[in-house]
Structure 1
Amino acid sequence: MADEKLAKLREAVAGLSQTSDSEKSGFISLVARYLSGEEEHVEWAKIHTPTDEVVVPYDTLEAPPEDLEETKKLLNKLAVLKLNGGLGTTMGCTGPKSVIEVRNGFTFLDLIVIQIESLNKKYGSNVPLLLMNSFNTHEDTLKIVEKYTNSNIEVHTFNQSQYPRVVADEFLPWPSKGKTCKDGWYPPGHGDIFPSLMNSGKLDLLLSQGKEYVFIANSDNLGAIVDMKILNHLIHKQNEYCMEVTPKTLADVKGGTLISYEDKVQLLEIAQVPDAHVNEFKSIEKFKIFNTNNLWVNLKAIKRLVEADALKMEIIPNPKEVDGVKVLQLETAAGAAIRFFDHAIGINVPRSRFLPVKATSDLQLVQSDLYTLVDGFVTRNPARTNPSNPSIELGPEFKKVGCFLGRFKSIPSIVELDTLKVSGDVWFGSSITLKGKVTITAQPGVKLEIPDGAVIENKDINGPEDL
């Protein structure tokens, strides 16, 4: 039955003109693996906590050379790659998420470029920036990067694969059933980075320039900056792959974690965990770290493994309903590739290297006095003594960036804030200070305005009378 399904699908895919031969074979290979049910199930009893040799504590890394010339040599072995395939739709924006303004009028992409420019200027190095787009973000990104043509940094863009969504009940590609617009297709997750880097010719280009490592990170993670200690360690120890992990808090209980499994370091995702062990997986006692998706990978190793078709990462089935049609997309994650590389390690990094902006509540954190901006680097305010950030929960009225910005005359001071929960039609004046635990609730049909200069500490506010 599976063979029959695959044969029909292969025939239909062969007739699709919007995708390349390498994309077609990559897609068919993914579907064949999915249909064969080859998914490896994790045997819970074989899971071990990795040692410090496998997940190296950041503070044990040697300091990199202070000599400018030595630092330049190290940096010239590096390329930076940002995953730029995501749209800002969840935050109410059109176009790539990386063009949302983060601070002082700068977008994520501006900050990334400024950071690498500062490095290249300081050390006379040539660290290029690569952006992996999806077909959703490609055209907009090309227009945006034009403004960096005069900078001291080479910017390369390439597209990740474009795979057809599969109509679930017939198991046929949706474009062959007439859905030829963008909705008929999907980008197959960031695990696709390795073949796409190769197929685009960018991998060979980097190798020809003497690059040895690529630092991969999500474009919305403001903490993912080039770290000389990590680069120095990998080059000296000849680790082919490094995943940055950081201590779990209760907000990260669903994040993938590193385990030792059958003498290999492996990423364990919540989807792979047997139901009976899900609570154990979520506990921060046994699984203390999670994957930040900041990855450092050796370029020659990528070439070797892609050419051998050896990167068989766990398949993530992602069923969706689009325009009333049930479709299936099969995806993979870049972190899951760790077990195929030699001398792969994790490095347990400070939380400051994980500062993603997934929602407007995250935007409030990075736009507040909790952070300052220097040379494109977002630095945490030392006046904040609590090592973790405040927990912020904003109601649906704040979900879209435009609405969020409109409701604040200026972003409140939150250096001494522990938790903030806002619901209903709430508007903030300027120069407001929030401290401790604050809850602000506007009753249905009531517009609640917090006046300029208000200082609110450990209070529940349900109406003007509470201010």
Structure 2
Amino acid sequence: MGSPGLHKAAEKMREAGIDETAVEVFAHYYRLLEHGETGMIAEDTIEPLDMPSLADVEVDEAAAAEALQKTAVIKLNGGLGTSMGMDRAKSLLCVRRGLSFLDIIARQVLHLRERYSAPLPLILMNSFRTSSDTLTALARYEDLPVEGLPLEFLQNKEPKLREKDLTPVEFPTDPTLEWCPPGHGDIYTALLGTGLLDQLLDAGYRYAFVSNSDNLGAVPTPEVAGWFATSGAPFAIEAVRRTPSDRKGGHFARRKNDGRIILRESAQTRDEDKDALADLDRHKYTSTNNLWFDLAAMKQALTEREGILGLPLIRNVKTVDPSDPGTEKVVQIETAMGAAIEVFDGAQTIEVGRDRFIPVKTTNDLLVLRSDIYAIGPDFTLDQVAADVPFIDLDGDHYKLVGDFDRRFPEGAPSLKEAAALRVRGDWTFGRDVKVLGEVTLEEAPSAQRLEPGTVLGG
């Protein structure tokens, strides 16, 4: 198994009952890390990527309906929302009207099943931290499980490694913090190791649609399913035009030496290439993390590569307790699921509208989602009713954590559909029916402030 550090880490995984395929995948990336691999992608090795738009594609209705019949929906649901102060699945956050992300996802799928008479199984990739709460929350939807298929499968876990010597870290105060997920690139290892990939194929499904549970715009519509099916591609990713808010995020490019489409994450970008990363005219498209892949093609690739797709390594340095910067520094070995696009010949990308990319990573995003920017229709999809989505910047000292955020919006979000930007400095509590017009900045005051019900800001 190689070095003493790798041996200790692998034994720790086996003792925890981790699937042997996952142990071998971890060992592959450990060896890369040990030999100095950083996963960095230099700017001079890539070139910008252009792509077609879904708006310009004509999809036959019959082909679209047939594609949906053969599609399984997988939602990544392992995140705890720790950056927002949560200790349970982020998808349990209330969006509006008492409905959580999970409630809306379940109802989106149930509606599509009824409308198109498609089985459309919904399967969640949970972590060991999110499984119990998630299944409890979904128990109310008795018709959600599809016979012969599970409602969830678990992503793997791996040891956090001491930065100084790459041995598994020990943290007796909270031993669960000795473990981390291997990034969402683990989905392929988990699908294979749990046997779910074979189950789906045996049940007659051909396509998988994968997306994040915090992106309510990621709906498996017949239009996109039909496009993917008729494209003949083994793998595809939905992309959107990058905006100023995406300057620090990942982007698509084409690798010069073999012409393959790649996805470069910000963590894979050298400091000297940060300006190129931020250039929205050069690198125009970012990933929605909405993926489509042919199940048989995925099985073949995993079998040929003995369970190791060979996704680019992401070396992520953190502290063993993410909430305490004074704790020991550790390395987390991660991969990104979108990086699998470079594995498959004929893989494609397609530009979609921003209505398919509504992620919630911060309370800024949560405020927009809870506001009147979006309406939830009878099909439980989000309809953007405002001309534009405003820029939101809430003071991190008072709004970063969900508990603090909720206390400052006790009567709900303000009206934002006529807003261009809302910047809040300091501690402001919003009363009922506050309306924001145009660009508004609330400056910090010597003490906490309250906006009275019906207040109109700006204009």
Normalised by the size of structure 2, how large is the TM-score? 0.90
1:366 alignment counterpart: 369
- State the AA in 1 paired with 2:194: S
Q: Which amino acid aligns with 1:390?
A: P
CA contact (8 A) 2:108 2:380 kept: yes
Aligned residue in 2 for 1:464: none
**Preserved CA contact (<8 Å) 1:225 1:353:** yes
1:92 corresponds to which of 85, 97, 121: 85
Amino acid at match of 1:239: A
How big is the shift at 1:249?
Answer: 0.7
Q: Is 1:348 aligned with 2:347? A: no
Q: Secondary structure at the match of 1:147?
A: coil
Higher relative contact order (CA 8 A, sep 6+): 2
After the TM superposition, which parts of structure 1 deviate over 6 Å for at least 4 consecutive aligned residues? 177-180
CA shift, 1:258, in A, is: 1.3
Match 2:217 to one of 193, 216, 223: 223
Please state whether the residue corresponding to 1:172 is helix, strand or coil: coil
Q: Is this contact kept in 1: 2:5–2:167, CA < 8 A?
A: no
The question of whether the paired residues in 1 share the 8 Å contact of 2:73 and 2:122 is answered with: yes
Aligned partner (choices 126, 140, 149) of residue 133 of structure 1: 126
Contact 1:186/1:329 (8 A) holds in 2: yes
User: Greater shift after overlay, 287-296 or 148-157?
Assistant: 148-157
Which residue pairs with 2:281 in the alignment? 285
Compute the RMSD of aligned alpha carbons: 2.3
**Does 2:271 align with 1:270?**
no
Contact kept in structure 2, 1:12 and 1:173, CA below 8 Å: no
Aligned mates of 2:117, 2:124 — CA distance in 1: 22
Equivalent residue pairs, number: 445
- The verdict on how the C-alpha distance between 1:368 and 1:153 changes in structure 2, with shifts beyond 3 A counting, is farther
Choose which of 354, 369, 380 in structure 2 pairs with 1:376. Answer: 380
Distance 2:76 2:194 in 1: 15
Give CA deviations for 1:145-202 in whole Å, capped at 9, x if unaligned: 3222234756620111111122333432236x87883112111000010010111111
Equivalent residue in structure 1 for 2:54, among 50, 53, 58: 58
Q: Give the CA deviation at 1:251.
A: 0.5
Give the 5 Å matches for 1:156-305: 156-174=151-169, 181-261=175-255, 262-305=258-301
Question: Which one of the candidate residues 134, 140, 143 is aligned to 1:147?
Answer: 140
Q: Does residue 399 in structure 1 map to residue 400 in structure 2?
A: yes
Instruction: State the alpha-carbon separation in 2 of the partners of residues 15 and 44 from structure 1.
Output: 39
Q: Given residue 454 of structure 2, which amino acid in structure 1 is its aligned partner?
A: G
Could you tell me which runs of 5 or more consecutive residues in structure 2 were left unpaired when the two chains were aligned. Answer: 322-326
Q: For 2:414 and 2:9, how far apart are their aligned partners in 1?
A: 56
Is the 1:61–1:229 Cα contact (8 Å) retained in structure 2? no
Tell me the equivalent position of 1:306.
302
For the Cα contact (< 8 Å) 2:6–2:167, is it kept in 1? no
* Helix, strand or coil at the partner of 1:30: helix
Larger Rg: 1
Answer whether contact 1:224 1:353 (CA < 8 A) is retained: yes
| Greater mean alpha carbon deviation, residues 13-22 or residues 239-248 | 13-22
Aligned-pair distance for 1:20?
Answer: 3.2
Specify the code of the residue in structure 2 equivalent to 1:159.
L
Contact 2:64–2:225, Cα closer than 8 Å, also in 1 = no
1:173–1:419 Cα change, 3 Å? same
| Cα separation, 2, equivalents of 1:4 and 1:206 | 38
Q: Which residue of 1 aligns with 2:439?
A: 437
Q: How far apart in 2 are the matches of 1:74 and 1:20?
A: 32
Shift of 1:38: 5.1
**1:64/1:228 contact within 8 Å kept:** no
Distance 1:210 1:50, change over 3 A: same
Report if aligned partners of 1:165, 1:173 keep a CA contact under 8 Å in 2. Answer: yes
Counterparts of 2:156 and 2:283 in 1: how far apart (Å)?
Answer: 33
CA distance in 1, matches of 2:330, 2:273: 30
- With over 3 angstroms needed to count, the CA separation of the structure-2 counterparts of 1:126 and 1:443, relative to structure 1, is same
Q: 1:308, CA displacement in angstroms?
A: 2.2
- After superposition, residues 310-321 of structure 1 pair within 5 angstroms as 310-321=308-319
1:120–1:153 CA contact under 8 A, matched in 2: no
Deviations along 1:249-306, one digit per CA (max 9) or x if unpaired, are 1110122111121221111223333433220221111111111111111111111121
In structure 2, the partner of 1:411 is 413
Q: 1:416 to 1:318 in 2, by over 3 A?
A: same
8 Å CA contact 1:255–1:291 kept in 2: the answer is no
SS in 1 for 2:52: strand
User: Cα offset for 1:331?
Assistant: 0.5
Identical columns (%): 34
SS at match of 1:173: coil
Query: Which segment drifts farther, 265-274 or 90-99?
Result: 265-274
Letter in 2 for 1:360: T
Residue 320 and residue 234 in structure 1: after superposition, are their counterparts in 2 closer, same or farther (change >3 A)? same
1:426–1:441: 8 Å Cα contact kept in structure 2?
no
Q: Is this contact kept in 1: 2:313–2:334, CA < 8 A?
A: yes
Residue of structure 1 equivalent to 2:47: 48
CA distance, structure 2, for counterparts of residue 138 and residue 451 of structure 1: 41
Measure the CA separation in 2 of the matches of 1:124 and 1:18: 39
- Structure 2: which amino acid aligns with 1:160? Q
Change in 2 beyond 3 A, CA 1:48/1:95: same
Preserved contact between residue 255 and residue 270 of structure 1 (Cα < 8 Å): yes
Q: Which one-letter code corresponds to 2:200 in the other structure?
A: L
Aligned to 1:30: 29
| 2-structure distance, mates of 1:219, 1:372 | 19
User: What amino acid is the match of 1:143?
Assistant: T
Residue 115 of structure 2 aligns to a residue whose secondary structure is helix
What SS class does the counterpart of residue 143 from structure 2 fall into? coil
For the 8 Å contact 2:233–2:347, the answer to whether it is kept is yes
Q: 1:350 to 1:439 in 2, by over 3 A?
A: same
Measure, in 2, the Cα distance between the counterparts of 1:276 and 1:400: 33
Partner of 1:74: helix, strand, or coil? helix
Corresponding position: 1:335 with 2:338: yes
